[in-house]
């Protein structure tokens, strides 16, 4: 009986032996071709080591991620008083701020917004995005009712729609 798992591992390993690892997306031209918009280079450099985490995890355990560079996905809303990343479009439509992360298009610890970052974020508003930035809990310079905020944003990219048509109801 114990031979079956060993044989399966050997078959899998031999099948993968000829596979080559794809090249990482490292230069800005390739990243732009992939739909990723790079933001100011000094912020991007600081955010090289990032953690991929769901927005639900950030909301559930904010102190664990505070001060860390994270990449997360969600529905981006960039209105005047509503600059947030929501868990879903439905949560955004109902304004459920407790299920959102504040978006600060500037440097952490500053109340000033970076116009370039703000413009790029607004270009992806009202859609699902993947966003990278520093997650901060309790920044006194950012007025927020959310658990935390993303600042020093280094990258944002749209998440493509898999099923463009809404489900049809059967009558």
Q: How far apart are CA 14 and CA 69, in angstroms?
A: 37
Q: What is the pLDDT of residue 81?
A: 76
Within a domain: 18? no
Within a domain: 170? no
Within a domain: 166? no
Three-state DSSP class for 44? helix
Within a domain: 105? yes
Q: What is the pLDDT of residue 82?
A: 80
Within a domain: 15? no
CATH number of the domain at 121, please: 2.40.50
Q: What is the pLDDT of residue 111?
A: 83
Alpha-helical regions (H) of the chain: 3-16, 28-33, 41-46, 55-60, 62-65, 89-93, 115-123
Within a domain: 6? no
Q: What is the pLDDT of residue 162?
A: 82
Number of domains observed in the structure of the chain: 1
Q: What is the pLDDT of residue 143?
A: 55
Q: What is the pLDDT of residue 38?
A: 56
Global pTM? 0.66
Range of the domain at 134: 40-158
Q: How far apart are CA 81 and CA 97, in angstroms?
A: 12
Within a domain: 169? no
Within a domain: 106? yes
Question: pLDDT means per 10 residues in the chain (171 residues)?
Answer: 41 41 38 54 53 92 92 93 90 90 89 90 95 86 71 93 73 69
């Amino acid at each position: 009986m114990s031979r079956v798992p060993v044989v399966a591992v050997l078959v899998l390993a031999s099948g993968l032996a000829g596979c080559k690892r794809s090249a990482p997306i490292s230069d800005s031209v390739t990243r732009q071709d992939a739909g990723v918009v790079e933001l100011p280079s000094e912020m991007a450099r600081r955010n090289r080591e990032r953690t991929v985490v769901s927005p639900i995890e950030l909301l559930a355990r904010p102190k664990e991620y505070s001060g860390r560079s994270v990449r997360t996905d969600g529905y981006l809303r960039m209105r005047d008083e509503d600059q947030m990343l929501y868990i879903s479009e439905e949560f955004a439509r109902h304004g459920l701020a407790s299920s959102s992360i504040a978006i600060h298009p500037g440097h952490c610890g500053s109340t000033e917004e970076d116009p370039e970052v703000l413009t790029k974020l607004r270009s992806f508003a009202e859609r699902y995005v993947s966003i990278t930035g520093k997650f901060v809990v309790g920044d006194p310079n950012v007025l927020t009712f959310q658990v935390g905020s993303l600042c020093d944003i280094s990258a944002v990219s749209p998440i493509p729609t898999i099923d463009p048509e809404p489900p049809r109801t059967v009558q």
